[in-house]
Amino acid sequence: RARILQVSSKVNCTWYPASSFSSVSSVKLFIDGKFVESKSDRWIDIHNPATNEVIGRVPQATKAEMDAAIASCKRAFPAWAETSVLSRQQVLLRYQQLIKDNLKEIARLITLEQGKTLADAEGDVFRGLQVVEHACSVTSLMLGETMPSITKDMDLYSYRLPLGVCAGIAPFNFPAMIPLWMFPMAMVCGNTFLMKPSERVPGATMLLAKLLQDSGAPDGTLNIIHGQHDAVNFICDHPDIKAISFVGSNQAGEYIFERGSRHGKRVQANMGAKNHGVVMPDANKENTLNQLVGAAFGAAGQRCMALSTAILVGEAKKWLPELVERAKKLRVNAGDQPGADLGPLITPQAKERVCNLIDSGTKEGASILLDGRKIKVKGYENGNFVGPTIISDVKPNMTCYKEEIFGPVLVVLETETLDEAIKIVNGNPYGNGTAIFTTNGAAARKYSHLVDVGQVGVNVPIPVPLPMFSFTGSRSSFRGDTNFYGKQVPMS
Ligand code: NAD
């Protein structure tokens, strides 16, 4: 099939003007290769979390618009599935270059809508870009298997085939990386894709869609709808959708897993976390404290792989005052301000929830060693800021330990032995990521073998796998059979 290719190395983003907001912009739907204004009468405001000013609005797509998006995915599927794997690979090869060329603009949108620092936002794009680069190795990933002479005069072949129309539902905390976990892998395998970004941070996904179109993806291979529950239910129920990728909270993920599975879909759901950093007294103190501070408070703790819980083993508990001193030095500011180490939380409700969980620590007998609840950021007095907070003397039965806080809050427990620490980690329902800090090889091996957690770092605080390996997660952090990216190529 012939197609005229327009490759722009720089895209002038029309969703948000570069500097001032004279009027509120409406985020478009992306249907059948066109960015279209929704006819919906239900819209959601998008806020800058550093100021709480309204910067845009996103539609809750109408039923007719969602139907049109699915019809477009369905129409595009047969030709896209038959497009040679080399041609699909070429689209992805061009795409990775366009993402690189536009990385700073995507990051700017992320900081504007999500609040994280520009450096973190660039990291967000970069980690997604790595998945796109990995998708370019589709020619190896989609190889099947053969066995000659399986019986007399008979050979056996297995093929990896696209499923059809797939869908993605994304969270707010990684506006570029997580959508890029979803549609590039599915599409390079020959599937078409319906994406529903987080209604709080749609801008990066819209720009990524434009870049994909400019890379040569045919009309209809990617469609984007916006909305909340209605859009999610539509995806779970629609008979033409064969598989769903979800990343977000347990509340939404368990619901989507159950409802989508009930309709016969393949569902992968990456959900909440409570990641523990176990600090052994033989660890390199300097590195460990720096890494703990970065992993607990970076991105305001709004990372599913944040190290939100420290277990100090034996003499390591003496390092607590120094940990507090380091956390105090972090600069809290709007994400686009020079020198900011962490930005605001996503909404005033998120701030209130985090503050309530800190309160619960005090009420249940823990000690607040560093309290970020009353922080004021000059020039951004209306922002959703919480400063780094450290809660010590925490016990596993306390609310601040049991719940995912998703803010710049480190809860600290103490044990005498590594065995006790392992028992605590395995007793927690979540199993997304964890790290041990030690110079003892035997302790590192024991820990990495005995913890029931998907991703384990040894002196690596945030062990997110590179895309040639899958992002895993175990127990309450994951539902489904195939993980995101890696050799599992989820949707073929
Ligand atoms: P969220 O669950 O509120 O939203 C995720 C998506 O689900 C959004 O698109 C939203 O529109 C939709 N949604 C929200 N509530 C829903 C409901 N009740 N029914 C149906 N759909 C619903 O999550 P969030 O606040 O955007 O993201 C933060 C969460 O995501 C944290 O729990 C974090 O740990 C998790 N997360 C997990 C991973 C991972 O890989 N395990 C990665 C990033 C984030």
Q: How do residues 148-178 score in pLDDT, each as one tens digit?
A: 999 999 999 999 999 999 999 999 999 999 9
Residue 19: what pLDDT?
Answer: 40
Q: How confident is the model at residue 21 (pLDDT cuts 50, 70, 90)?
A: very low
Looking at every residue in the chain, the average pLDDT score rounds to: 94
Over 60: is that where the pLDDT of 492 sits? no
What atom in ligand 1 is closest to the CA of residue 227? 11
DSSP code per residue over 119-153? HHHHHHHHHHHHHHHHHTTHHHHT--EEEEEEETT
DSSP code per residue over 292-356? HHHHHHGGGG--TT-EEEEEEEGGGGGGHHHHHHHHHTPPB--TTSTT-SB---S-HHHHHHHHH
Q: How confident is the model at residue 264 (pLDDT cuts 50, 70, 90)?
A: very high
**ipTM for the predicted complex:** 0.98
Integer Cα distance of 99 and 183 in angstroms = 14
Residue 18: what pLDDT?
Answer: 42
DSSP code per residue over 360-423? HHHHTT-EEEE--TT---TT-TTS-----EEEES--TTSHHHHS---SSEEEEEEESSHHHHHH
Q: How do residues 422-476 score in pLDDT, each as one tens digit?
A: 999 999 999 999 999 999 999 999 999 999 999 999 999 999 999 999 999 999 9
CB-based contact 214:13 (threshold 8 Å) = no
Distance 16 CA to ligand 1 centre (A): 24
The residue ranking higher by pLDDT, 372 or 24, is 372
Is the CB of 306 within 6 Å of ligand 1? no
Residue 487: what pLDDT?
Answer: 79
Is the CB of 404 within 6 Å of ligand 1? yes
Residue 489: what pLDDT?
Answer: 60
Is the CB of 169 within 6 Å of ligand 1? yes
The residue ranking higher by pLDDT, 22 or 436, is 436
Is the CB of 248 within 6 Å of ligand 1? yes
Over 90: is that where the pLDDT of 22 sits? no
DSSP code per residue over 268-289? EEE----EEEEE-TTS-HHHHH
Integer Cα distance of 231 and 57 in angstroms = 16
Rounded average pLDDT over 203-229: 98
Distance 304 CA to ligand 1 centre (A): 10
Residue 4: what pLDDT?
Answer: 34
Is the CB of 310 within 6 Å of ligand 1? no
Q: Report the SS3 class of residue 29.
A: strand
Which token pair is 42?
């239900």
What atom in ligand 1 is closest to the CA of residue 200? 26
Residue 81, class by beta-carbon neighbours within 10 Å (0-12 exposed, 13-18 middle, 19+ buried)?
Answer: middle
Which residue has a Cα nearest atom 34 of ligand 1? 272
Q: How do residues 133-146 score in pLDDT, each as one tens digit?
A: 999 999 999 999 99
- Percent of the residues in the chain that have a pLDDT greater than 90, as a whole number: 93
Q: How do residues 173-196 score in pLDDT, each as one tens digit?
A: 999 999 999 999 999 999 999 999
Catalytic residue annotation: 304
Per-residue CA distances from 177 to 124, 208, 443 (Å):
5, 11, 33
Integer Cα distance of 383 and 381 in angstroms = 6
The residue to mutate among 249, 354, 464, having the most atoms of ligand 1 within 8 angstroms of its beta carbon, is 249
Is the CB of 255 within 6 Å of ligand 1? yes
